[in-house]
Amino acid sequence: MIRAHTVAAVREAEAPRLTAGEPLMARAAFALATRVAAELRERGHRVSGSVVLLLVGGGNNGGDALFAGTHLARRGCQVHAALLGERPPAAGLAAARAAGVRVHEVLAAPDVPGAVVALARAAGVWVDGLTGIGARGPLRAPLTAVVGALAAEKAASPDEPVVVAVDVPSGIGVDDGALPGPVLPADVTVTMGTAKPGLLLPPAAAVAGRVEVVDLGLDGDLAAAAPAVCRLAPADVADLWPVPGPADQKYTRGVLGVVAGSQAFPGAAVLAVAGAVGAGLGMVRYRGPEVPTGLVHARHPEVVAAPGRVQAWVIGSGIDPDDAARTQAMEESLAAALAARLPVALDAGGLSLVHDDGHPDLPATVVLTPHAGELATLLTARGEEVTRADVEAAPARHARLAAEITGATVLLKGAATVVAAPDGPLYAQADATPWLATAGAGDVLAGVLGALLAGYGDAIAADEEGRLTALPARLAAAAALVHGRAARRAAGQGPDGSGPGAPITAQDVAAALPGAVGALLR
């Protein structure tokens, strides 16, 4: 699991070590130089003779870059430093000059962006040491124009140069993942001491590239600080996955009630059920009208269409809130779940059940699964004037707001999936593939989540002391990881999303679930 800590937590952890004179910056700079050299070699370049441009801000972020440039110059790189801060870090500057780094006072140039771009065009590596955790707000002039020009250069030639961000790409919202202004997208971010929330949270996570965490010896100090954002890795999901044992039978593995699909949208019932059975569980009880029931049985004859005991519910996929009969069925199953303290995945039309305060203070065992538009509609219905664009610009903030308003756990779907509960860390999962943006994918995800909730349903229902309140959020993040990995598998991509992939349908994703789960458990 990747844990990300806020600027305040990092400062608090660093302070005693800095006071004690620990050489944190030296460690940081050496690790940064080592990564730059590795990136050069991995691209088939010799380190010695390679041209490296340091973009140097006025604080210690720039200091990291300058000291790293010192190491690189000593390894034979031709290193140029473009000074873009009013007061460049003196110690770093002196060390760089002593090592032969060529220093450019570009702020004195009549055309600052032009001067930087001229240096950049001659370099194979750009080291972004403009701002790190000391940034306040969107980048200010002249960095705005400089970064805008460099981003345009980089967009025109994506393969070369390689952009290495120091600690964070300059200009992102370090604690919230916002993109308040121009940012230079990085191929690699070498982040110091611990990951930062903005490297995991959308939209900024999309410009961080591969994130490498440098161990500065802060883990002990940071362990005391609860992480602000977590990202589950496959191993964490494997530890969570309900794997049956010799004593299990279908009722102990978990039975899932599915209220999805309608005469108008019967396919969603098939897809939600396919997601659940593909993820693996004891049994599905499907509740719906004749047409979807027939389709479900045609694809999944093992599904039971009779009422009975369940350990979790999926409610809402493929249901139009204007469909009175189906809305009544949704209300009844939600009421039954709440009365029995069972976990629920509320998807699509099911979200309309929380558009008013008819269910005040939902427990965190209810997991809402909106996309950005549905979350905007929900928040607006609950009195927060919010548009889809607002949600997409700050997904984590809006997911947490919805969790606080409703009391439920919120899984906000998107290119990266954010999970927020009223308390505890955010989760940010980036396991999907753009090929997953296809009709019905959300229905399958609701089924995967339902299967996981059913696997833990009895334990959650019996959890009188609230020891498991953090579990639904973690299960939701796990469902997002497996759903994304199954989509990559179905698209013919690697587990890391590598490769071009190919068109997939929601059913392809469901069919790939058993293989994706098996790959996790190996």
Ligand X SMILES: NC(=O)C1=CN([C@@H]2O[C@H](COP(=O)(O)OP(=O)(O)OC[C@H]3O[C@@H](n4cnc5c(N)ncnc54)[C@H](O)[C@@H]3O)[C@@H](O)[C@H]2O)[C@H](O)CC1
Other beta carbons within 10 angstroms of residue 16's beta carbon come to: 10
CB under 6 A: which stretch of 138-146, 248-256, 370-378, 399-407 binds ligand X? 138-146
Of 170, 262, 333, 469, which lies in the binding site for K ion, with binding defined by CB under 5 A?
170
At closest approach, how far in Å is the CB of 430 from K ion?
A: 20
* 414 annotated binding-site participant: yes
In angstroms, the CA 128 to CA 131 distance is: 8
Stretch that binds K ion, among 55-63, 207-215, 476-484, 491-499 (CB under 5 A): 55-63
Stretch of residues binding K ion (CB under 5 A), selected from 168-176, 329-337, 401-409, 422-430: 168-176
Instruction: Find the binding residues for K ion in span 74-133 (CB under 5 A).
Output: 128, 132
In angstroms, the CA 7 to CA 4 distance is: 10
423 assigned ligand-binding residue: no
User: Would you count residue 70 as binding ligand X (CB under 6 A)?
Assistant: no
How far apart CA 364 and CA 456 sit, in angstroms, is 14
Smallest gap, in angstroms, from Cβ of residue 39 to ligand X? 18
Please report whether residue 469 would count as binding ligand X according to CB under 6 A.
Answer: no
Residue closer to K ion (CB basis): 197 or 343: 197
Residue 59 interacting with ligand X (CB under 6 A): yes
Q: Is residue 143 near ligand X by the rule CB under 6 A?
A: yes
CA-CA distances (angstroms) from residue 70 to 32, 94, 132, 169, 263?
Answer: 11, 10, 19, 21, 69
Q: Which tokens is 388 given?
A: 């889809």
DSSP output for 126-150 = EEEES-STT--SSPPTTHHHHHHHH
Nearer to K ion, 40 or 130 (CB): 130
Bridge partners (DSSP) of residue 188 are: 164, 210
Residue 193 assigned to a binding site: no
Residue-wise burial string across 82-105, b where 16 or more C-beta atoms lie within 10 A, e elsewhere: bbbbeebbeebbebbeebebbbbe
192 part of the interface to ligand X, by CB under 6 A: yes
Q: How far is CA 244 from CA 199, 280, 455, in A?
A: 36, 9, 10
128 annotated as a binding-site residue: yes
Q: What is the 3-state secondary structure (H, E, C) of 47-114?
A: CCCCEEEEEECCCHHHHHHHHHHHHHHHCCCEEEEEECCCCCCHHHHHHHHHCCCEEECHHHCCCHHH
Among 54, 72, 116, 135, binds ligand X (CB under 6 A): 135
Q: Does 228 bind K ion (CB under 5 A)?
A: no
Among residues 21, 110, 137, 358, the one that binds ligand X under rule CB under 6 A: 137
Q: Say whether residue 58 binds ligand X (CB under 6 A).
A: yes
**Binding-site partner at residue 135 among K ion, ligand X, none, CB < 5 to 8 Å by type:** ligand X
Is 154 a known ligand-binding residue?
no
Q: How far is CA 258 from the centre of its chain?
A: 28
Burial class for 453, CB neighbours closer than 10 Å (0-12, 13-18, 19+): buried
Give the nearest distance from C-beta 305 to ligand X in angstroms: 58
What residues are designated binding site for (6S)-NADPHX? 60-64, 132-138, 167, 268, 318, 371, 443
* Residue numbers at the binding site for ligand X (CB under 6 A): 14, 18, 24-25, 28, 57-62, 64, 85, 131-140, 143, 166-167, 192
* Residue numbers at the binding site for K ion (CB under 5 A): 61, 128, 132, 165-166, 170
